A and B are shown apart, each in its own frame.
Chain A
């Protein structure tokens, strides 16, 4: 058993030692998602910036540890992210196949778009008519006081393409809020998690979907189980793969139109963002 443990350690060690002499990784021509928050090192160790090599033992430990940490403090988004990365391998493979089989999804996999404040043209989006996808997305960001740049970078996925899919999933999460009309309070988040669990099959979503309701009060729980929950699950199952949509080219499209195309019904209950901000 120790042999199994020490062997990956040796391999890890040797890989790290061999990489110290290579400085050219920074200019590797491989099309990777760049623009992670800060590249403090001039070269990176691994398959993409921010990638950390881990043995299966370490991944298991990370999954357990991050799960416990995320349960203790749900505001630790980095722990939720790590849990998703360490447990989501099969679901990511499944997602990749779905994206490859879809023409638009395939284009996303080759072009690798990123949703960041620097790539969004906020003025143009603000000038779009109400009811258009771009305008509603902007309204969602303002009402809930969130920014698309707050997503943690992917660290523990050992395949560069799957890492991009994971990142895309995180970036699409906010857009899902807009599509589903859910705010970022606990109830809205749980509803989106139910949708995502049905759509993607990521264990982290399933875990969030099961454990999230534990923190809701009874009236919200009732709303969840009677109307929001079933609606989220049904739509999650029948909707088109949400990762396969090139959202960056559809800002002008009307929200209703996009919902129909994706096969998503409008929400049964209108939830508002928290009372501190007037819509």
Chain B
């Protein structure tokens, strides 16, 4: 049972929603601005959503006031993310660093953490992340939403909705970890460097027309991906040993490229459903292994690369697909150029322009410890996905498992799930 993507007021099982604002402790100098890069601007219609659930033992004594105070410490480091977008005379968007703040949402849930986690489709966690797009009035649209959901047993759900234009998923996790350290009361020695060099080294400076990005008609000031089809989400766990290894010939050294295999299998399944035309081009998004210093600044540095095959996907073997994925071409340079062209007035879709696979499996999501305890469950997805669909792979609570969140057009979802069942990815 996928969950349809819709802009959210608190709905379904979350009630007693209260909105307030948190910001930075120290005032920013008047007139400070933050200029998005071309790559930032290309991502503007997408929003990253992460939900962390903590057990009652960890979270029972955490008050709203304490959580807000620690948020202030976080935003002291990245005060520019509490600003608001505005446009220059040329139309190019920029952030006015006016300390306006981010929206803090409090909600209650009548279920216990156990009851909540008992649902096999983890996309219910979408309810834990309050989301509103940027626009139609840029000046009063926060870039980040934080939701604090109190479960009946005292457990806590922390949901973060983060506009991709300010930073990629790795930046989001870094900021969240910073917040959990502040909540735990650890003295934070290294502040988040946010004004560092935001460039990246790309081995392919000559790619001119990136295929991983699709230009769309202008959306004006309401930054929402226009889709003709309604999208649905499905989230499930995979065991590496039982469900992934069998698809790949065993290597002598016992290391298999788990993400690439998952991507290959799902690519095949989608190709079988989406017969005409087959998705021969996909986008792969990963962390940049050569991330320039300063490390972990809040910015868009994820590698966006494209894979194109010239053989029919549905009949190909997983090995062939894995090999092709390994030869993906980094298109960031081209995206940077095209994103910043026409003074940032063009609008693009990246996630879902082609079938997109995001690799977050290297991220230590369960290292976001509050009071020394890891979260019970972590969920991640992207809002504003294009019609070709998105697959996100990330770590599960158990190290021998992975979590996969799939966002596809509603009409395709049931058939794709059937394909998953056929190849053993999900239980029949």
Partners in one complex: no
B-side residues, CB < 8 A to A, are none
Residues on A lying within 8 angstroms of B by beta carbon are none
